[in-house]
Structures are given as structure tokens and as C-alpha cells.
Amino acid sequence: MTDAKEPSLLLKNISKSFSGVQVLNSVDFSLYSGEVHVLVGENGAGKSTLMKILAGAYQHDSGDIIIDGVPHPRWNPAIARSKGVGMVYQEFNLLPYRSVAENVFLGKEELKFSLLLNRKKMHEIASQQLEAIGIKVDTRSDIRHLGVAQQQMIEIAKALLCDVRFLVLDEPTSALTFLEIDRLFETIQHLKSKGVGIIYISHKMGEGQTIGDRITVLRDGKHIGTMPVAESSTDKIIKMMIGREIKDLFPRHFCEPGKLALKINDIGTKAKLKNVSLEVRYGEIVGITGLMGAGRTETARAIFGLDPYSSGSIEIDGKNVNRMIPSLAIKRGIGYVSEDRKQDGIFKNLGIMENISMAGLGKYFRSGILNRKKEVEIAQKFIKTLSIHPPNLKKRVQFLSGGNQQKVVMARWLALEPRILILDEPTRGIDVGSKTEIHALIDKLANQGNAILMISSELPEILGMSDRIYVMRDGSIAGEFDRNTDSEELIRCAMGEKSCKE
């Protein structure tokens, strides 16, 4: 595969700056036909910028884009597509009120009589395309009715609909569970066998080492090194990424849990959940995992009052809660960090301070007047405590890295001093350094006596951080495990095999 004399794609000495800030500095990157080249680096290292240049979304300041040995001084999205470049962005580019099929064919619609949409053909092809990557959905359903993981697979199907030679996958598994990841890897292997070159961006170290052929590390907009995956190690890659070693990705200090904080008794909803029961104690981190659509996020939303439950009950500190809506959940000491920070977590056009204070605006008002001094003091406190960068109160959150955006969302809830914290995919799509910081914060909160309910698709995270683990399947709790279990047991349980421990 990589024995070919020349790469099919070569990015040579690529540089790019924004408003005088150097984002890429003479970066080289190559891709051979039929290989998976893994691209890693912390948020802000320049990975996505480099790939957006390849896709034509950004214009590079200097350097060359070379296809099959031929330089292309003119480069834009149309030329990139004509040369076989396809890209699945980390941020979704879907129309929520259009059907699945219409989104798959966006910009490539099938027509009949050169005038009308051939919806029947579009639905048929879209269904085939999605089944090929292991997902079955109603292609007539609106995108807004699908979960984050399903939307991610729709984005992948969109890219594969074109006859691509070079496919860029930017964090393609950030919303997928282990079974969906296996299906995606099967698709990648199939594309490799057809000669497609794949650039794979991921913060999950194990993925690159599983699926990749070569790996390139960027740091601070510079090319640090490229090596065969077979010659790499997690420790070596991390040290190249951040310029230092990380001794412990999961800095968990287990302690004896306290009294019962939250108890869920046979909760059911009309849409998904069936007789869900679980418990969380103060000083404890309880993990929830399972396959896509198992009901994990729906459980979190029901507890916080975003979705009404039609049966069962919730107890907080041993007292039954008659009903739950978000405002009452907050008063009862519950905080909720949602799965999709872009859609449900951040106010992207507001500054860091406004984002931190948003959930508790009432505490900043006295006699109808906003106490700006107090708002500033609390925001500055959490910027320092959580090392939010840049430490600029007015910096709009949309311009922060994924890790810093997640810290801002965490700060918003910590400012309310919750006793029970629900974290849905708390490290989704952030780099390894930020993950370690978030893990350390979660561990600190638990050791300070907070009750933590953490939902995650990443089994190493679930196993490394949890005191106990619930596995969900088909809207119910399929099994409960202690922290000494292994990933194989969790996978078997999630898939419905008999090894589940009730």
C-alpha cells in the first residue's frame, strides 16, 4: 500500500494565519491510495484547519497541494470535489427539518424529467447507503428526530455517496458506541480495499492504532513527526502531542461512598424508557454505557426534567419527588451537562462570562439590578480554577477549543454548587490533555462529596472513572457491574448476551 513511490496526495509546506496569528507553519502531509493516515494533536494544533484547506473551505497562505504529482495553484471546494476529496466535518452540516434522504443527497439531488425531485429513488439509495455502514433508519424521517450518533452516520453516508478518492473523517466516532465504531471500521476497511485514501482525525488513541497505517502528529501548527502505526505507542504519541508525558489519563482516587443521593425507581417514558432503576451515592461516580439508542441520554433528560416520565418515581435524599422540571431540578441541587454542547450547551455568540452565569442569573440580581461585580468575580474564579484559555471574560465561546468550551459548560453548573451532577459524554470530541483535566475535575468533585452520574460511550473512560457501572439496552437497565469488571463483559451485556450481572 505505502510501497508506492509517490503519494497520491501531498500537502507541502502549507502555512496559514488568521488575523496575524500563525495557525499552520510549513506543514507537510501525504496520503497514499488505500491507506489510513491518522492525524492527531491537541485542540488548536491545526488539524481541522489543515483539512479545511484540503477541502477548499480555507485558502492557504503558502505551500502546494499536489494530486498525483501535479501541483494545483488554484484550489477551492469545487476543485477539491472534482479531484475526489470528501470530508466529514466534526460539526454537523445537516438541515434539521429535512428528511434523512434529502440530507444524504444535499447538493446532489436526483431529478426526474430534469425538474422534479425523484424522492423514491433518493430514499432507496439513501437506505442502501446507510445499511452499508450498518445503520437502519427511516429515510423519510426528519433529521431533527435522530440522535447525535445517528446524525454522525448520516454525515458519513453523505460523503460516501460521492465517488471519493480521498476521504477526511474528522472525529467520526465522537458520538458512536463500540458496536457502531466496529461497523465504521468495517466500512473503512472496505474503502481501503477499493483504493480510497483516508485521513482519520481522532482524539481516541486506541482508534488510530487499530485502524491506521501511518500517524502524523501536529503541535502548535507544526509538523512534529510521522511514523508507521506499528512503530508507535500511546505514551510516545501523547508526548509528541503535548510536549510532556501524561502519567495517568484517569486520575481516579476511589473513596467510600456516602449516603444515597439519587434513586430512580422503575422510570418509564412514552418514547423510550422502560422500568429504569438506578442509585447514586454522594462521593460516588456511577457510569452508564450501552449501544446507540439504548436510552442513556433519555435517562439523563428524564432525571433532569427535560422529558416527562410516565411511570415510576425519583427520590432525592430519600424524599420522593412528585414531578421534575429543569428549574425544580436546579433548586434540588441537580446540574446537567448535555451530550451535545454545540446544540444544547453553549451560547456561541456570547462571551465566557455570560455563558458561565447563564444557568443562575437569578443569583446575580438584587432588587432587579444585575450585580455585575459578582458575575465577574464568579466567572474569574472558574476561569482560574478550570484553566479556561484564553482567560478573557468577553471572548466569544464559539472561538474556544472544544476542551475549553466543555470547561465553560462545566463552570456554569459548578457555579450553582450542585450536589448531584449528571454528565452526558463529558469528554466528547476534546483532546487528550483536556480530557485528563476534565477527568481530574470529576474525580475532585466526587471526593468533595458530590454524586456524579456519568454517561459515556468510551469504555476506557467508563472503566477508569466509575465506582459502579450500569449497562443499558433497549431502554432498560441490562446489568450492573463494579469497577473491577472488564470491557468484554460490558460489551456482551450491551449486546444482549447472557453474561449480564443483574
What element of type H or E holds 184? helix 178-193
Please write the tens of the pLDDT for every residue from 306-339: 999 999 999 999 999 988 999 999 999 999 999 8
Rounded distance, CA 357 to CA 416, Å? 9
Topology at the third CATH level for domain 9-242: Rossmann fold (3.40.50)
Strand partners, 162: none
Q: Are 9 and 31 in contact, with CB atoms under 8 Å apart?
A: yes
Task: Judge whether 9-242 and 259-333+420-425+450-502 match in fold.
Answer: yes
Q: Between β-strands 9-18 and 62-67, what pairing exists: parallel, antiparallel or unpaired?
A: antiparallel
Residue (of 350, 351, 345) closest to 429 by Cα position: 345
Average pLDDT over residues 86-96: 85
Please write the tens of the pLDDT for every residue from 469-494: 999 999 999 999 998 998 888 988 98
C-alpha cell at 192: 481501503
Rounded distance, CA 19 to CA 272, Å? 48
**Res 171: pLDDT:** 84
DSSP letter, residue 269: -
- Cβ-Cβ contacts under 8 Å for 123 (sequence gap 6 or more): 99, 101, 139, 140
Res 406 pLDDT > 90: no
Between the alpha carbon of residue 387 and those of residues 345, 371, 406, the distances in Å are 19, 24, 12
Q: Dihedral of the CA atoms 81, 85, 90, 95 (nearest 10)? A: 30
- Cβ-Cβ contacts under 8 Å for 251 (sequence gap 6 or more): 436, 439, 440, 443
Rounded distance, CA 280 to CA 271, Å? 24
Rounded distance, CA 124 to CA 118, Å? 10
Q: Within the chain, how many helices (H) and strands (E) appear?
A: 16, 24
Whole-prediction pTM = 0.67
Which CATH code, of 3.40.220.10, 3.40.50.1000, 3.40.50.300, 3.90.320.10, is assigned to 259-333+420-425+450-502? 3.40.50.300
C-alpha cell at 473: 439496552
Q: Are 83 and 66 in contact, with CB atoms under 8 Å apart?
A: no
Q: 362 or 216: whose pLDDT is higher?
A: 216
Q: Dihedral of the CA atoms 140, 344, 241, 21 (nearest 10)? A: 100
Please write the tens of the pLDDT for every residue from 248-297: 778 888 889 999 999 999 999 988 899 999 999 999 999 999 987 799 99
**Res 116: pLDDT:** 87
**Res 447: pLDDT:** 95
Please write the tens of the pLDDT for every residue from 335-386: 999 987 777 778 888 999 999 988 777 777 777 777 788 889 989 998 988 8
Strands of 357-458, DSSP E: 365-366, 369-370, 420-424, 451-455
C-alpha cell at 161: 455517496
What does the angle CA 321 – CA 327 – CA 333 come to, to the nearest 5 degrees?
65
Rounded distance, CA 434 to CA 409, Å? 14
C-alpha cell at 400: 474556544
Where are the chain's structural domains?
Answer: 9-242, 259-333+420-425+450-502
Among 134-143, 173-182, 210-219, which range has the highest average pLDDT?
Answer: 210-219
